[in-house]
Structure 1
Amino acid sequence: MAGHGPAPTGRAVRGGNGGMRIIAADPMDQPELPEFDVRMDVDGEVTYQSFDWPAITRTWWSMWANSPLSAEFTSTDWSELMDTALLHAKYWGGDTKLAGELRLRVAKFGATPEDRARLKIQFAAADEAEDRGRARASRAGSKQPAPDADPRSVLRAVV
């Protein structure tokens, strides 16, 4: 897929940081969506009108504030997401040619399960649910493998 660069090699494949530079981050709370005017050119006359954020974009913005992913967002992350909010508003206003750009931008933030898998992000709740499932299965007498067992050990040939 274009834009993701070459496959990792060497230390990155073996689980090291692959030469990644690690810096201290200063996460911040989500800012409010800004108020601004948009330029209107009607019949050669230029006017400015206040931009009204659509309700669906306000809901989308709140969703990001409540996402566990945003707990580590810095000012630059929120700035990029704010630009993406404008694309979201225009998309929902009918400018569907922005769909591809909108999809690419939200993917960088881990919007879908596929995006999070690519970014190597997993919600802790998934691990807890898996542990609860294993405990429930063992109480029910299931042949669930131990966490460190080969997961293929429960597979049976079907003839």
Structure 2
Amino acid sequence: MAGMGPAPKDPSRRARRNKDPIPQTTIRWERAEAPELPEFRIERDGELVEFVWPERTREWWQTWVDSPLSDHFMAVDWEFHLGTALVHARHWQGDRYAAAELRLREAQLGATLESRARLRIVTAEADNADEGRGASGAPSAKERYGQLRSLPGGQAGAGKST
């Protein structure tokens, strides 16, 4: 099965601090608004006919437009996403060969938990969702130990006989 392999390690966490062989390029980020799914014609049986987007693709597109992930899309990202919409439409029109390409493209866009982890995308509300109880739902340390007070004189083990 084709894939991208593991995500690169954060350079600040590497044991060896060798310089990257390829320097990083920084560009100015400009947010772009989501375009509408375009109207266009395709050739079918020698004639140009209006392409009709499957209803499922229209719903999928709206999910992406409403997603917080799209807040970080630039114009080139939306162009890539329009191409992905065509692959999605082919898939929902019965082209079984489109599924593999759709899977790869959606992974590049962060469509799954795994792909977001690979892209190092985290959800900010996750920290507050468990009300500080951690993943297990157990009481927080403050709840467990909040009533404890230190012993007078700060001596641990007070009360030992000498």
Normalising TM by the smaller chain, what interval? 0.7 to 0.9
User: Based on CA coordinates, which of the two structures has the bigger radius of gyration?
Assistant: 2
2:140 pairs with one of 125, 138, 141: 138
Identity, % of aligned pairs? 43
| TM-aligned CA distance change 1:128 to 1:22, over 3 Å | farther
Which stretches of structure 1, 4 residues or more, deviate above 6 A after TM superposition? none
**How many residues matched?**
139
| TM-aligned CA distance change 1:55 to 1:124, over 3 Å | same
Q: The residue matched to 1:100 in structure 2 has which SS?
A: helix
Matched residue, 1:154:
none
Query: Gapped runs of 5+ residues in structure 1?
Result: 144-159
Q: Structure 2 length as normaliser, TM-score?
A: 0.72
> 1:3-42: CA deviations, max 9, x gaps?
63787479364399x643222111111000000001012x
Structure 1 CA distance for aligned equivalents of residues 6 and 97 of structure 2: 29
Q: Structure 1 length as normaliser, TM-score?
A: 0.74
Matched residue, 2:99:
99
Q: The residue matched to 1:122 in structure 2 has which SS?
A: coil
| TM-aligned CA distance change 1:6 to 1:141, over 3 Å | closer
Q: CA-atom RMSD, angstroms?
A: 3.2
Amino acid at match of 2:110: G
Structure 2 CA distance for aligned equivalents of residues 92 and 22 of structure 1: 38
Matched residue, 2:151:
none
Matched residue, 1:33:
37
Matched residue, 2:82:
82
Q: Relative contact order, CA 8 A, sep 6+: which one is greater?
A: 2
Amino acid at match of 1:58: R
Amino acid at match of 2:35: P
Choose between structure 1 and 2: higher helix proportion: 1
Amino acid at match of 1:32: E
Matched residue, 2:155:
none
Structure 2 CA distance for aligned equivalents of residues 25 and 61 of structure 1: 23
